[in-house]
Each structure stands twice: as structure tokens, then as C-alpha cells.
A and B are shown apart, each in its own frame.
Chain A
């Protein structure tokens, strides 16, 4: 460290333009560019048409259906009862709900591994409502080109009428959606009448309003923004992709080099691929991407570009499938497998889950019995010299009909119930039953004895439930 480091003066590079000028900056936050989606007809659009009607039909009709006076589906939160297809579920059945959600999750994983984001493209409510809203837009404002022109024109009578009509219909659909949604939590017949006669409770108005606004803004204004920036599934579904996942893909080997040509021209002479660069696939894409750039996280596998491209290929007399559902391996000319660790694993897990759920549902006994010993109490000696313990039994009848139950206790000889052993419970009713057991001192061998309460429904010995508890006695 003895020699000195020579000092050099280094001047900054002088550039006449950028001298004394800050570097160019732009907004970090870009406004959403409105996507004008061109409507298209084809095989996959037809498939979606059916899935859309089936799902919408179920959604809008199921809350109105009653079977034998019981609603088909009603999540009665205040009463803490879930009515689903003629069975009533109670809070203790939440494990079943989690089971169903787990099955739904595994179903999503399984399908995604096979076919990518088809859930997004065909069945996701965001997609389904967006397509309905786009259909309305098309009907009111006209085709893609007309809509673009309309947005560019100044406000005039025609524009105001069309825009108001469109938003009016959107709000109407959104209101129906909100009303239906709340109708799954509150009997929809009463709700509909009460809402229009201004009799409903403030919260009902709030939630119907909330879901109306949410539907209107998500399907009308935000659209692909939901899939791109909000949806959690979109973020992690890409993780389930592999090279054998069937996704919407552009066959670059066949399409490139792309270029326009006359229909009569020979592409071999021009040295072009099959893609005529017409831009249809971009114009129909609801997320506004160009599928020819390869697989992108925005793609929801809705296959509109496939329909659009196939139409063009037919016109050009080229074979279909320049854009098609294909796997990475297929595009590279390798064979692709359906059966592989992921699909088989997910498939087995899914089957196991479904099996476990079905078993749980079939073997579910619709009675709940819990025994609570009195807090802070040990035992009492009664006037007859017997030892007493007090309990509160919680019994719930989870069936759809009233039942008469009989209560018995086992585990200690000479155990005898001093309180009611016969009681009647209405459908879904629960009861707190103060219960006293008396046992002669000779039988109480220990300070802490295991006992078992059992309730059996009259006329149906299979309808029974048991629970363990403790009987405390004196020290010997």
C-alpha cells in the first residue's frame, strides 16, 4: 500500500441533447386499453354456448326450485343450516364442505394438467358473464368496427341512446345476478317481493346492490383485468402446465414465415408458411394477446382464435388447425402422453377424495350428541346415599322429520338416569338436556370412570349416536 494510486479525471460523456435534461420518463401506471373483441362463430364457440346456457340455467333457476316445500339450495346463515338437494347440513358438517372444496380444487388441478386453463375459457363466471355482456354490446352497438367508430365519434343522440341502452341492459343483467346470488342465502321468493315493495331489510338491499355493482363492473368494465391482475387461480394454474398439457397453440412450424398473399398464389413459390397474417386471431382474443407469440400467461384457453383461424383456413383452402389445442411436444413433432405422473397422481387423488366424500355422506348419521359435564362440579351424594353427577347433553336432530329419542347410559353398573330419558325433537331442532346420573357407591370403583351416553331414535335403531363422558366419584 505504499505506491500512490494515480488520480485520473474522468469527465462524463457530453451529449448535446441529454445535457441538462432529465431522462425521458413515462407513467409507471398505464390505463387499460379497451379491447374490442370481434365476434366469431365456430366449434368451440358452440361448445361454450352450451356450457354457458347450462351453467346460467342452473344458476338462475336453482334458487327458485322447491321440492316438497323445502328449497333445493338455501344457505340459511342465521339459522346455520345449509339445505342442499334435500339434505340439511349443519355447522358440524363443515368438514364435508371442505371436502367438496378440496375435490373441486383437485378437479381443477386435474383438468388444468390435461387441458390448461379450460376452466377459465368455458366455465368461469367471470368469462361467462363477460361473454354475455359482450353479446349485449354486439347487439346494441354493432360489430367490432362499428363499436370502434362509435367510441371515436363525438357525443350525439345516437351514441347517447346506444350507450345508455347498453349500460341499462348490463345493469339489468347485473341486478338479476345480484338478486339471484342473495337468493341462495335468503328465500328468493320473499326476497324478490320484498325488494320491489321496499319491505326488505337494509342488508338485503346492500348485498343485492353490492353484487349488482360487482357484476356490472367486472363483466362490463374490468373483464380481462380480472384474469390478468386479480384472479389467484390464473397465477398458479401455470404451475400445473407441462410439455404434455394441451393448450391453445399456434403451429409455428406450419405458419411461419407469415405473410399476406392472394388466395390463388402458391405459398411454396412465395416461400411463406400457412399464416396469412390477417390478424383475426388477435381481433377475437378477449384478453387482447397475439397467440402467435407463443404460450402466454394471459391466455385463458377459450379457443376463439382457433375458431377464427379455422374460418380463414377454410377460405384459403388450407387444412384447419394452424391454431389448435396442442401440446408443446406435439408442436415439436414429438409424441405426447396423456398418462404421466401428474395426471395419474391427480386422478388417483381425485378418485380417493370423491370416494372418501361419498363414504362420509352415505355413512353420516344425522344425529348429533355431545355431553358436557358441569363445570367446576365434582360429584354429589344424595339423600339416598347414592353418588350423583350432572351433565348437560346437547342433542340435535339433523333429519328432515320430527323424531322421538330415548337416552341410555352404559359403562357403570347400576348407573341410573334420574332425569328425562324420552324426548321429542322437531326437524333440525337441538336441545340442551340437563341430565343426572346416580350410581350406588359400591359400583364406583375409581375417582374417574368412563361412561357412554347413547341416544336411539324410536322405530329406527340405525339412527343412533353415542358420546363418551366421565363419571367422577369419591376417592377410595
Chain B
């Protein structure tokens, strides 16, 4: 705030307070008698008139007190332009203070689970409830409240784990986030359109959905060159580099012919944001246990 506006605001605010105060003092004498009479102020509001009698003294004191309170408040808190107030209160400070209080309060709750192994923690009802709430606040926006995922967002309730479903891998994923990039046409940038169709047929053949068996046969060759480097010769994927398994039911980017063709032709970029710094280690631990438990309901 510039000096001018700061002064402008301060003058108006203080002027108002002192102006009210002056008005109160200037009008505290009147020409009425100090006895109760039947005399009215003379104005008739639809036949209702007002007695012209003295007002209670404590009103006067109360009003004075409000003026003093206002001045005290303006001295302690920011209100006069760019003046910060004696207490140094700011919205950010208050927020940080409350966050610290909350963290102090809740970190104990999370800490009790910090050393419990994740598979064991996934069985713990209370920890699961905490994890569910964390999930709803931090993950559900992409993965859905039931963690079923959507196009481009993995389903966390099935057995397909792009980056691996072991406890420490899940924790790692949460901590660091994940970057996924599938290059367009894999390792064969000059792949022709017909070759793309062939690869798509080959990929669909794992689930018995190929349109053309001959093309699929041909696609197997191209797959070996262009795709197997990441997805593996048997197309079962490689969790260490986040290459999805192409032989299961889970499809991150849609399972139809058109979707897969789109994926092969243009590649895919994907990112899961890192939670480190947003959530504490103990919170991530509890969250990881919840996610771990989602796909292992029956165990």
C-alpha cells in the first residue's frame, strides 16, 4: 500500500472514531429538564410521539467505551493503512499457528502407526479410517473417492501396479511422485500407420480381442523392436520404470482399439505429484497402508 492510501485510510478511520466521540460530547447537554415529563420531542410518527426525557447515563459510558475499544483494537491489530499493529498479527501467522497446533495434535495420532509394517497396518480398522480420510482429501480428486481411477488415472483397487504394489514402492510413489512418458511409436519414430495398426492388433491379441490375426502376427515383430524395450518381450511390463503390463485387464488409457491406437501413435505423458512436504512421513505411511489394503480386500 502506498503512503498516500495508507494515510488516507488512517485519517478516515481515526477521524470517524474521534468524530463520533466529539458528536457524543457535543450533544451531551440539552435544554430539557432533568425530570421526567410528558413533554415530547414534537415530531409525530404516524401518531406516535417520543418523550423528551433524559437518556440513561450508562449509554454514554458504553459509547465512550466502544470508542476506546476501537482505538485499542487499532493499536493492537492492523487496521490503519500499512501499520502492522503492536501484536504483529497477520492472517498468515494465524494460519501457520493453527497448522502447527493441528500438526502437534495429529502427529501423535499418526506417530503411533509410524513403525507398524504396512501389511499389518492395512488390517487396522482405525488406521484404515484415517487413511480413507487422507485419501478423500488428497487423492480422491484424481483417483476417485473409491480409488477406481479414470482415464489417465490408475485404478488403485485392482492388482495391476504400474510402478509396483509392494509397500515400499507405494511409499516411494507417494513420496516422490511419478513421471511417466511413453514416446510416440515407442522406439520406432518412423513407424508407419499400417505398422501401428499391426502393433495394436498384436496388443489386443493378449486379451483375445484382435481384429485381424495376420496383422497381429506381423505386429509381434514390430512390438519386439519398438515396445519390448520397456514393456518386455512378453509384454508384462516393468514396474521399475513404470511400463504397464499390457496383458492384463487394466488399461490406463482405455481398452478399445481406437484408444490403444491413439496411445501408440501419439505416446502418453503422465505425472503423479509428489506428496513429500504436503504430507508428513507418518501420514504417507498411513495413506500407503490404506492404498495397499484397497487391492487386497480378501486377504
Q: Determine the distance from Cα of A442 to Cα of B32 in the docked complex, in whole angstroms.
A: 88
Identify which of residues 349-387 in chain A touch chain B, using a CB-to-CB cut-off of 8 Å.
372, 374-377, 380-384
Over the window 429-442 of chain A, the binary record of Cβ atoms lying under 8 Å from chain B Cβ atoms (1 yes, 0 no) is 00010111000000
Q: Determine the distance from Cα of A195 to Cα of B142 in the docked complex, in whole angstroms.
A: 49
| Given A383-B251, A434-B132, A29-B54 contact (CB < 8 Å) | yes
Contact B33 A28 (CB under 8 A): no
Query: Is B149 at the interface (CB under 8 A from chain A)?
Result: yes
Query: Is B87 at the interface (CB under 8 A from chain A)?
Result: no
Query: Is A24 at the interface (CB under 8 A from chain B)?
Result: yes
From B141, B146, B147, B249, residue with most partner A Cβ within 10 Å: B146
Interface with A: B4-12, B55-63, B90-98, which one? B55-63
Identify which of residues 165-194 in chain B touch chain A, using a CB-to-CB cut-off of 8 Å.
none
Contact B56 A29 (CB under 8 A): yes
Q: Determine the distance from Cα of A393 to Cα of B150 in the docked complex, in whole angstroms.
A: 19
Q: Smallest distance from the beta carbon of B226 to chain A beta carbons, Å?
A: 25
Contacts of B27 in A (CB 8 A): 28
Contacts of B28 in A (CB 8 A): 27-29
Contact B57 A29 (CB under 8 A): yes
Contacts of A29 in B (CB 8 A): 28, 54-57, 59-60
Contact B144 A390 (CB under 8 A): yes
Query: Is B115 at the interface (CB under 8 A from chain A)?
Result: no
Contacts of B31 in A (CB 8 A): 23-26
Contact B34 A30 (CB under 8 A): yes
Over the window 22-57 of chain B, the binary record of Cβ atoms lying under 8 Å from chain A Cβ atoms (1 yes, 0 no) is 000001111111100000000000000000001111
The chain A residue sitting closest to B294, CB to CB, is A434
Query: Is A475 at the interface (CB under 8 A from chain B)?
Result: no
Query: Is B211 at the interface (CB under 8 A from chain A)?
Result: no
Contacts of B32 in A (CB 8 A): 26, 28
Give the size range of B's interface with the partner: 35 or more
Query: Is B71 at the interface (CB under 8 A from chain A)?
Result: no
Contact A432 B34 (CB under 8 A): no
Contacts of B140 in A (CB 8 A): 374, 392
Q: Determine the distance from Cα of A23 to Cα of B55 in the docked complex, in whole angstroms.
A: 20
Q: Smallest distance from the beta carbon of A406 to chain B beta carbons, Å?
A: 18
Identify which of residues 94-147 in chain B touch chain A, using a CB-to-CB cut-off of 8 Å.
132-133, 136, 140-141, 144-147
Q: Determine the distance from Cα of A295 to Cα of B174 in the docked complex, in whole angstroms.
A: 77
Partner of A432, one of B55, B133, B155: B133
Q: Determine the distance from Cα of A228 to Cα of B51 in the docked complex, in whole angstroms.
A: 14
Q: Smallest distance from the beta carbon of A298 to chain B beta carbons, Å?
A: 11
Query: Is B255 at the interface (CB under 8 A from chain A)?
Result: yes
Partner of B146, one of A25, A228, A419: A419
Contact A435 B146 (CB under 8 A): yes
| Given A374-B144, A383-B250, A383-B255, A27-B54 contact (CB < 8 Å) | yes
Contacts of A377 in B (CB 8 A): 144, 150
Query: Is A203 at the interface (CB under 8 A from chain B)?
Result: no
Query: Is A20 at the interface (CB under 8 A from chain B)?
Result: no
The chain A residue sitting closest to B248, CB to CB, is A383
| Given A380-B150, A381-B255, A390-B145, A432-B136 contact (CB < 8 Å) | yes
From A29, A391, A392, residue with most partner B Cβ within 10 Å: A29
Contacts of B33 in A (CB 8 A): 26
Q: Smallest distance from the beta carbon of B224 to chain A beta carbons, Å?
A: 26
The chain A residue sitting closest to B63, CB to CB, is A29
Q: Determine the distance from Cα of A383 to Cα of B160 in the docked complex, in whole angstroms.
A: 11
Q: Determine the distance from Cα of A383 to Cα of B158 in the docked complex, in whole angstroms.
A: 10
Contacts of B34 in A (CB 8 A): 26-27, 30
Q: Determine the distance from Cα of A387 to Cα of B194 in the docked complex, in whole angstroms.
A: 32
Query: Is A32 at the interface (CB under 8 A from chain B)?
Result: yes
From A229, A372, A377, A432, residue with most partner B Cβ within 10 Å: A377
Contact A380 B54 (CB under 8 A): no
Q: Smallest distance from the beta carbon of A472 to chain B beta carbons, Å?
A: 12
Over the window 260-277 of chain A, the binary record of Cβ atoms lying under 8 Å from chain B Cβ atoms (1 yes, 0 no) is 000000000000000000
Contact A229 B56 (CB under 8 A): yes
The chain B residue sitting closest to A384, CB to CB, is B249
Q: Smallest distance from the beta carbon of A438 to chain B beta carbons, Å?
A: 10
Query: Is A19 at the interface (CB under 8 A from chain B)?
Result: no
Q: Smallest distance from the beta carbon of A13 to chain B beta carbons, Å?
A: 18
Query: Is A2 at the interface (CB under 8 A from chain B)?
Result: no
Contacts of B254 in A (CB 8 A): 381
Contact B250 A380 (CB under 8 A): no
Query: Is A225 at the interface (CB under 8 A from chain B)?
Result: yes
The chain A residue sitting closest to B254, CB to CB, is A381
Q: Determine the distance from Cα of A228 to Cα of B30 in the docked complex, in whole angstroms.
A: 22
Contacts of B59 in A (CB 8 A): 29, 229
Query: Is A388 at the interface (CB under 8 A from chain B)?
Result: yes
Contact B145 A25 (CB under 8 A): no
Contact B57 A31 (CB under 8 A): yes
Contacts of B30 in A (CB 8 A): 25-28
Over the window 203-230 of chain A, the binary record of Cβ atoms lying under 8 Å from chain B Cβ atoms (1 yes, 0 no) is 0000000000000000000100100110
Contacts of A374 in B (CB 8 A): 140, 144-146
The chain B residue sitting closest to A385, CB to CB, is B255
The chain B residue sitting closest to A380, CB to CB, is B150
Contact B57 A30 (CB under 8 A): yes
Contact A30 B56 (CB under 8 A): yes
Q: Determine the distance from Cα of A381 to Cα of B60 in the docked complex, in whole angstroms.
A: 73
Contact A391 B145 (CB under 8 A): yes
| Given A24-B31, A374-B140, A392-B136, A30-B148 contact (CB < 8 Å) | no
Q: Which residues of B contact A (CB under 8 A)?
A: 27-34, 54-60, 132-133, 136, 140-141, 144-151, 155, 158, 248-251, 254-255
15 A-B residue pairings within 8 Å (CB atoms): A29-B28, A29-B57, A29-B60, A225-B58, A229-B56, A376-B141, A381-B254, A382-B148, A383-B158, A383-B255, A384-B249, A390-B145, A392-B140, A432-B132, A434-B146
Q: Report the 8 A-B pairs with minimum CB-CB distance, sorted nearest first.
A: A383-B249, A30-B54, A434-B146, A28-B30, A25-B29, A29-B60, A392-B145, A31-B57
Apart from A28-B30, A380-B144, A382-B148, 16 more pairs, CB < 8 Å: A25-B30, A27-B34, A28-B32, A28-B55, A29-B54, A29-B55, A29-B56, A222-B58, A229-B56, A383-B250, A383-B251, A388-B148, A390-B145, A391-B145, A434-B132, A436-B146
